[in-house]
Chain A
């Protein structure tokens, strides 16, 4: 038979375990971990780091080089808006919105990436 004391302890234990689960899930989905940080890399150097969730007004960033790229940032998303490279693969990649998303302008050695890993697949071939 469970005594009153047992029930209290049992209740306490359940609350403690539940709290730690909830705590972890909140930790994962908030603060540093939920932030989407986009990086712009040119010639293997990081030239800009942006918290795209904190962007209120759209902004454009011009990356100069052998070719020129214009990167557009809006709240929660980032893309190559324009490029004067021959293939336009970077522009056609469209918006990046999820962690692990990446767009590359090979001719100008420029890439944008949202840091972190995709929940979906680890990587896609191309």
Chain B
């Protein structure tokens, strides 16, 4: 009896070990494969004058990505002023004349843009259009306007001249020649809309970048946060000066490196200061905003860039749930208190200095 029992026990152990090792092997294979899972779908499209990159973890990712691109194209067609048609063009064409009927999306973005113009005391100004047009920064033939031209155009830039009637879904610009330009905020809105599409399809993990305006849904499939490099404003595309790890956050950068041209040895960038009419020159070369909602980050990255370090920092600290990274002309990096624990300073160029305490 005793011997039989011992043999039985021995055999069970042997099988247990073999089965256990097979399970372990399969486990290794399984986890390794799922990490490189084909569930990760990545795609990029030229939309809204930039590259829209999506990474989606979902079995229907390809179909969802197509729907997303369609939605972005729709938003672009309604809000663009670089192509004919669209509601913002109608609003601009009727400036100083009459109220124009607008759709829900345009009204929402217009009102948000007006609010951020107010909050930033005009550092971000949705009526910047006449200046943008004159400089032609987004055209293929940018130029430096004459001083008298800039002085004339500055009279048309004033966010207080936009009248929005939410009740009747209409809006109007006060003076003829005024131009609303939603370029500094429409991509942020589009990203927020995209996240809604992801959620609708049950996606739990995805990331979208609209020309570097990044919005993440959840974390990565393994539960870890997304790691996002903060662009080195003096490095080439893809180089960075630090890393932040986020889940469910928007990360949007603005900088003098995005679009610029040179004339007579002077470098002119695309972020115009609504007060001077010239490219913002307040000592910053890059700003990055981290927030829950992308439209907020988009507007604030431009606003803080124009405000400069001190004023920009003050504005961000006055707002709930918004964090920022500032990079100055003298190559110093400052972050708001809420980011100090998660910001990793990593500068391969070795040109920048991280100032932890101000």
Contact = CB atoms under 8 A, between A and B. Distances in A.
A23 B236 CA distance: 38
Interface in B256-295: 257-261, 288
Contact of A20 (B29, B211, B226): B29
A124 B44 contact: no
A93 B21 contact: no
Given A13-B17, A16-B22, A92-B236, A125 B261 contact: no
B227 A122 contact: yes
A101 B142 CA distance: 29
Interface in A90-110: 92-94, 101-104, 106-107, 109
Nearest to A125: B253
A122 B28 contact: no
B32 A121 contact: no
A44 B212 CA distance: 18
B237 A126 contact: yes
Contact of B21 (A3, A12, A23, A44): A12
B16 to A, nearest CB: 10
B5 interface: no
Contacts of B231: 124-126
Contact of B261 (A16, A19, A87): A87
A33 to B, nearest CB: 7
Interface string B226-241: 1111110000111110
Nearest to A23: B29
A67 B251 CA distance: 32
A91 to B, nearest CB: 10
A93 B236 contact: yes
A41 interface: yes
Interface residues of A, number: 43
Contact of B51 (A10, A33, A111, A124): A111
Most buried by B among A10, A23, A43, A123: A123
Contacts of A126: 211-212, 231, 237, 253, 255, 257-258
B46 A21 contact: no
B207 interface: yes
A14 B259 CA distance: 58
A75 interface: no
Contacts of A24: 28-29, 32
B209 A21 contact: no
B51 A125 contact: no
Contacts of A41: 44
A121 B259 contact: no
Interface in B157-181: none
Nearest to A14: B21
A5 B14 contact: yes
Contact of A86 (B36, B220, B261): B261
Contacts of B29: 20, 23-24
A104 B51 contact: yes
B24 interface: yes
Max count, chain A CB within 10 A of own CB: residue among B13, B21, B212, B260: B21
Given A123-B207, A125-B288, A21 B51 contact: no
A104 B231 CA distance: 16
Interface of B: 10, 13-14, 17-18, 20-22, 24-25, 28-29, 32, 36, 40, 42, 44-46, 49-51, 53, 55, 140-142, 207, 209, 211-214, 220, 226-231, 236-240, 243, 251-253, 255, 257-261, 288
30 contacts: A3-B10, A5-B10, A5-B14, A9-B17, A10-B17, A13-B18, A13-B21, A17-B24, A17-B28, A19-B25, A28-B32, A86-B141, A86-B142, A93-B237, A93-B238, A102-B44, A102-B51, A102-B237, A106-B50, A106-B51, A117-B40, A120-B227, A122-B207, A123-B229, A124-B228, A124-B229, A124-B239, A125-B231, A125-B252, A126-B258
Interface of A: 3, 5-6, 9-10, 12-13, 16-17, 19-21, 23-24, 27-28, 33, 41, 43-44, 86-87, 89, 92-94, 101-104, 106-107, 109, 111, 113, 117, 120-126
Q: Which 10 A-B pairs have the closest CB atoms?
A: A126-B212, A124-B229, A13-B21, A125-B253, A20-B25, A121-B229, A24-B32, A93-B237, A121-B227, A109-B46
